[in-house]
Structures are given as structure tokens and as C-alpha cells.
Chain A
């Protein structure tokens, strides 16, 4: 397939997933029922910080209907602790972490025990019969308190609550500050929020004699697969991922604890065990983004050129060491945003507190980095009395610089940042709005225009950039497979190497296969959910890192090309023509009309996939010599340009991700002067996602991630009491936005194909969640300009905005 003959790629073809979802026939873990299945409940810590004096299963074990109880003692006796992963490589001493709390609880909701019974009510009742005695310890809920010299230690073995400190530095930062006309500084902050997928965690384990099967709504099956293998010491493990009700990073890390507990329960009882997390459990213990605080200094020239940035980043990582540096290292993916600035130093501190551990959320690290850059661009403009757009333009990577290598080693293949800004300004009517603002009226209307990257395709070695001495490399680059098969009846089925959480992977992959094999998408289907024993998966198997567009598309394209080769070879043999004279269209292989119309007319002119299938699988006599039977192929894809910078060098330069989409966001907001409430009047996005395989799917990803980022900026988030209790246990208190607060989002596509990917595609997933918090902050600050207010922290709740107007400026 060449780009010119794509019939389905580039079209908004009908969704493959929709028919089952609109009829309620999606199959999610909680929809599955197995014979003799037990129901499990998790007992959780009521304390933010306490020593576990004892935990006794006795009374619960003898309760009606109860088949099994697992206490921390059982977990220590029967399982191996999780290996420190790539995000715990910076620990001074290794800290064993198990599926339950052991010895201490470190956050409210931390799992302590599990009980399984033949019915849900029996299991729930039995929870109260597990006797756990706690010795409460002081709860630490702020990084300042945690870092105080006399602070109670959350992990005694670390000797400090500042569990990791490190930095990356590129260019000559000191020289940049030395030659600066001035230094602009700001203290910035982003609060604790989360992704709150509609479907909470779910595990169902079937311990059949030959192996243990886990049905689980995990995004990255490798994490739970390895967790069970290592924790239970068995390799007869199968992980199956059916439909998943949203992921966004939430279902990657902490879900392994429950996978292991449920698996252990199934092994102990010899029965299938189902565990379904409830919403309040999800809110308190399934993982949050971290509260991040940034002290930022920008070295600038009077013309608005930014010479360098110094950032001191404090991440509140909660009560676990397993994801210690995850928010820090994800900043490497867009460390310089869209700017050609050459000098930057980022210092990081990961501070433990008695709050929920941190996990990825839509965009992780990148929204923070974009927030830093875009807030500083506005701050620089204010300080220098320049136009904020002009300051951005002064510093953007220009078109002649592509492919552009950032100082930390990312290679940005293509882009048109000035063009994105031009279109965003035009679409929102920037000049008119500015002019109206000057005429002066009572309304507090503000406009914010920002720009950001959407990195895609993870390099497995990225996190080692901050641990150059680590001996345990978790992998490097990316590897991911896919299988494509023409069935005996001529229909086509494909198997992807990674699960989907609702990003229309079945639809998009079918479009690729359709074009390569010349068969309409309605004759193509996905083989089903993800299955570790059937899916060809590598290190890039992840519904995260924006991996799909790079690895899975590359893999399914490669597999389809291999099948196409087989089809052509077999058809040419059977039709007795040269393969170059053949074409594939609508499931039929035939002579290209223009090619040799007068060639011998002995045999039939065409052959269908079904006819080929019957021969390929059933009639060896008709196969060409040396032809492998069947019409199936598997292909593992890696990024063709992954080699340079794949491994971190001694300065920490590494290709963190491989493709870089980009977008300009323009927000028009109105602040209610009486109540401090912010209303988004218009929201405009101009987006470069490279070649779009399915524009409708791309739109869907942009709508959803923008809505999330806007909601985060305007108020959704977690609140802890000073005793470490989470107060926002419901979606209502947490403040997820509804149809009414979510603005209409206006999208224009401005695709610039990526020179290195299979079809020129770039990522289209979490992207709009990255600039949107910064866009809202910028617009609100502009609206509050009569008060001289500076927006430095999120969220912009009515309370915070009112205070910006009237109390703290």
C-alpha cells in the first residue's frame, strides 16, 4: 500500500466496537461469571499511618459462607515481594513491597486483608470479623511536614521521607543565567487529581489445573502478568483483558496488588474468585496524580528570548515507593515543550506522605511540564511588557529546524508550531477579543492561548536516564507484535499485541488491514480481547505511553503486508501470471486492468480470498513449491529510528518518546466577579496528529482529553484532611465534570506527517489533556488582569478565584 491508494485509511469508517457497546453487549470483567465463583472483598486501612500490631483472620474464617481469608502474614509467607521497578530504581535501599500492607499502613485505604465467600453479602459481612489491631502514628499530609528534620518516618529503612532526589541538566544553564537581561521567577503548583475511569478495578481468577487465568481490566498486562508470576512463583499464568471501561493510566500499577491477592485467594481456595473494586475504594487507593510544586526561574533577554530555565520540582508521591519517580521521568518526554531553548536544569524531589500512591493519569508529567512552560511564557510577557503570543513565537522551534533534536535527546520529526498558533488565533478571533478588551467593560473576559506537545511511542529505557548506574535495564526501545490471518472462508481476523481501553483500536487496525489486503473493513474482525497466550506482545504492549499509533499500527501493517505477500505468491501461481500484474481489491485478487490485457487468457482472471483460503489451508497439491501453508503472519514492529539515543548517555540524554504531535489551545473564559466562578465560553484546538487513520477517532480522543484537562483546571481534585483522611470519596465530592460544564470544543486539524512512522501518523490519545490546564490558567489570569492577579496554582475553583480577586494576588 502506498499513501495514495489508501481507501480506508484517512476515512472516518464506522466503529467496530460500537455495535456491542450501544446494545449493552460489551463484555467487561464484572459481566463474567464462572461456576463455583467466590466473591472477594478487601479490608483496608482506616488510618493514614499506623503500625499493624496484629491481624487475625480467626473469626472471619469461620463465618458463614467464607472460604478464605488472607492476612498480611499469609501474604509474607506465601508470596514474594514485588521487584523494584523502573520507578523505584532510585531508592537508597531496596524496600520490599507486597500486595497488602505489611507491618505498617501508609495511606487510608491501603489493602490489609482479603476475604472470599460464596456470596457478596457474606464476604462483606465477614470483613468486619477480621481483627486488626493498629497503633496509630502521626499522619503526614504535606511535603513540608514530610521533609522536616524531625518528621516521623514513613519508611524507617530509608531514614528520610525525601525518598529520591536527583536532577537532569542540559546545555550550560549557569551561562544562560549569567547573560540574561533578567530573571523571571514563579512558584507554580498543580493539585492532586486522577483519571477516575467509569469502571473501577476488576479481577476474576480461574485456577484451572493446567494454569491460572486472570481476567483483569489492566492497561499494561505485563505488569500484572509479571506480578503474579513473581509473587506466586508460577509460570502457568494467562492474563486475559476483555473490554475495559477506561484506563487513562489508572489501571497500570496499583491494580497488580489486587491481581496478586485475587490470584492467591483462588489458589488457596481452589475456586474462581471475583473481586470488584467499589468507587470509594477506587478514590482512596487506586492511585492519584501527584501534587506537584515547581519553583521556576527563567533567564530571559529583553526581547523575550528565553535563554534557560531552572526548575525545582517537588512531587508528593504518597505512601508508596513503587512509583517514586514516575511523574519526574515523564517530564523528559516534553522537557522543552515546543521551544528551541537550549539550557534547562530540572531538579526533582520525590517526597513520601501518608496519601494515596501516585500513578500515571492522562498525560502524566507532560501537563506539568507544559504548565511550567506556558505559565512562564505569560510571566515573561508580563514582566517585559510584551505580547504573550509574541514571546511564544520568539522561542518556538521553527520549521527549518525539523527534524529537531531537543537538548535532552528527543527527535521531533516534524511540526508547524507557528502554523498551529496562527490558526488557533484566527479561529478564536484573537485580535477582535483583544480589541474588545481594550474598549473596556465590566465583564471579566479573558483569553489564553498556549501550545503543547503530545509525545507518543515510549522508549522502555527512558527512566534509566536518571539512573545511569542502574544495572537493571527494564528494556530499551520498543517491540510489539500483531497477527493477521485470512480465514479459510476469505474473511480476515487480526490479533493485536496490546489491549484497548476504548480508543477504537479494532476500528483503526481494521482500516490498515483493509487497505493493505484490499478487503472492506466489514469483512475484518479482531480476534477478541487481549490474551497473553495468543496476543503477540512485547515490551511496548501497553495501553499507555501513546504506544498504539507507533507500535501496534506498525505491527499490524507489517503483518498484513506479510499476508499480502503470501496472497500474491499463491494467486500468481494459481492464475499463472506474474505477481506484479496482480492487484487486491474487495477480497479478490485479479490482474491490474492496465497490465497486459492481452496476456494469455487460459485460467480465470481472478481468484477470491475464499478460494485462496480453501487451497492454502486444505490443498497442498495446489501450493507452489516451498510455500508455507495457511495465510497467516505475525510481525513485530520497532521504531525504525529508535537506535540513535535509545540508551541514555552519561548526561541523561535519551529519546524518551519517538513521535511528537502538537496542538495550540485557545480558551475564552468569563469569570463571575460576584462568585468567582469560571465559565468557558469557547475552546478552540488546532491539532497536528500527523496522518490521521480515522479522523473521527482522533476527534474523539481530543474531545475527551480536553474535557478532562479543563475539568481538572476548574476544580476536580482530591481533598485530604490533616489527619490524612481522604474527604472526596465520591465522584460528586471529587467533582468530575458533567455535560453541562464541559464546553463545546472546536477542533481544526493541521496534520504534518511524521517522516519516520509507517503512514506518517503521530499519537492521538491523551494529547489535549496536556495543554488544557495551562490554557485555562492563562485565560483566567487574563480575565483577572483588572485585579493584577497571577494564576500560579490549580484548581481554579470559585473559592480560589475569589481569593485571587480579593485576597491574595
Chain B
């Protein structure tokens, strides 16, 4: 067993894990953070995408010990109970997701993109999302939602509108 200590969504978390445990399983099974999903386990689908030290990674392709000492942000770390992150808000308003399984990963990729590039072109958005597969949506409304955030349509938290 290997002891790992990492900062998850702003909190220091520690666990003793077998070295073959992936970061994805550590998050889901040890920390109860089930937002990141297991879709392929080999880095193809992106459903497990989380942000480590500011960059998106496939958490299924990172061993938990490789994340030792690093900062991990998952979809659960984006919103508070009262307030959604602007990307989440835009995805909600556009109805960008359908089954929702790919959503947390897509949203983390979008977050990393907008953190680095607040005003991306459509092609840059498509590039940034190319590691996140979706079968339901054809990606259209995800791209539109990210454009909305970039344009500022969703920068301010908005209340329920009629």
C-alpha cells in the first residue's frame, strides 16, 4: 500500500492505496466523488477528465500515487450549493447534456480552456473538447454553451428566469 496526500477541491485528503489504483478510482471509491466517470479506462473517452495542477488529465490513466502532492479539481469542486459555475449554468440553460455521463468531463475540459483562453474561437473550443467523446448530443450545444460563457452571457450568476 502507498500513502497518498493530495489537495482535492481545496481540501487536503489522504488515503492508503494499492499502487495500481488509478486517480479515478481513488476519487470515486475512496473519496466518494462520483462526478468523474469510468467510460473506457484507457484514456479514449474523457468521461474521467479532472484538472490536475491546472491541466486536464484522464484520471483513468493516472495512478493515484502519481497524483501525490498535487492539486486536483473535480466537477464537485466547481459549484457551491447556492451558485453554479458559469460553465455549469450555461450547460444547464442550453440543455447541452443529454444522458449526462460525459458531462462532468466535458465541463472540466471547458473550464481548463476558458481559464487559459477566455475568448476561444469555435475551432479552439472543438480542439479543447476533442478528448471528450459524447454519443447523445453531437456536441453542438456544448460548443454553444461555451461560446455563451466566453461572450459573457453567463459570467454573472443568474437567478431562475421565467
Q: Which residues of A line the B interface, CB within 8 A?
A: 12, 14-15, 17-26, 28, 30-31, 121, 195-200, 243-248, 276, 278-279, 501-504, 507, 522, 696-697, 699-700, 703-708, 730-732, 736, 738-740, 742, 744-745
Contact = CB atoms under 8 A, between A and B. Distances in A.
Given A24-B36, A279-B41, 18 more contacts: A15-B92, A15-B97, A21-B97, A21-B100, A23-B79, A24-B34, A24-B75, A24-B76, A25-B35, A26-B103, A199-B101, A245-B37, A246-B99, A246-B101, A246-B136, A279-B42, A696-B94, A708-B135
B42 A730 contact: yes
B133 interface: yes
A19 B35 CA distance: 13
Contacts, number: 180
A246 B45 contact: no
A507 B93 CA distance: 13
B129 interface: yes
Nearest to B42: A730
Given A198-B37, A700-B95, A700-B137, A245 B100 contact: yes
Contacts of B130: 738-740
Contact of B138 (A18, A200, A247, A704): A704
Given A121-B20, A522-B160, A742-B138, A14 B92 contact: yes
B140 A279 contact: no
Contact of B93 (A14, A195, A704, A740): A14
A716 to B, nearest CB: 11
A144 B76 CA distance: 54
B95 A502 contact: no
Contact of B137 (A121, A501, A703): A703
B44 A502 contact: no
A31 B135 contact: no
Interface string B104-142: 100100000000000000000111011111111111111
A245 B133 CA distance: 12
Interface residues of B, number: 58
B149 to A, nearest CB: 12
A699 B137 CA distance: 9
A15 B18 CA distance: 41
A244 B37 CA distance: 12
Contact of A736 (B35, B95, B133): B133
A243 B99 contact: yes
B92 A19 contact: yes
A199 B137 contact: no
A707 B92 contact: no
Contact of A196 (B34, B97, B135): B135
Interface in B61-106: 74-76, 78-79, 84, 88-89, 91-104
A26 B100 contact: yes
B18 A198 contact: no
A20 B100 contact: yes
B98 A739 contact: no
B38 interface: yes
B95 to A, nearest CB: 5
A196 B141 CA distance: 20
A35 to B, nearest CB: 15
Nearest to B137: A704
A31 B99 contact: no
A244 B136 CA distance: 12
* B18, B140, B142 pick with most chain A CB within 10 angstroms: B140
B99 A245 contact: yes
A738 B134 CA distance: 8
Nearest to A24: B35
B143 interface: yes
B98 A502 contact: yes
Given A18-B92, A245-B37, A198 B127 contact: no
A568 B3 CA distance: 65
Interface string B23-47: 0000010000111111111101101
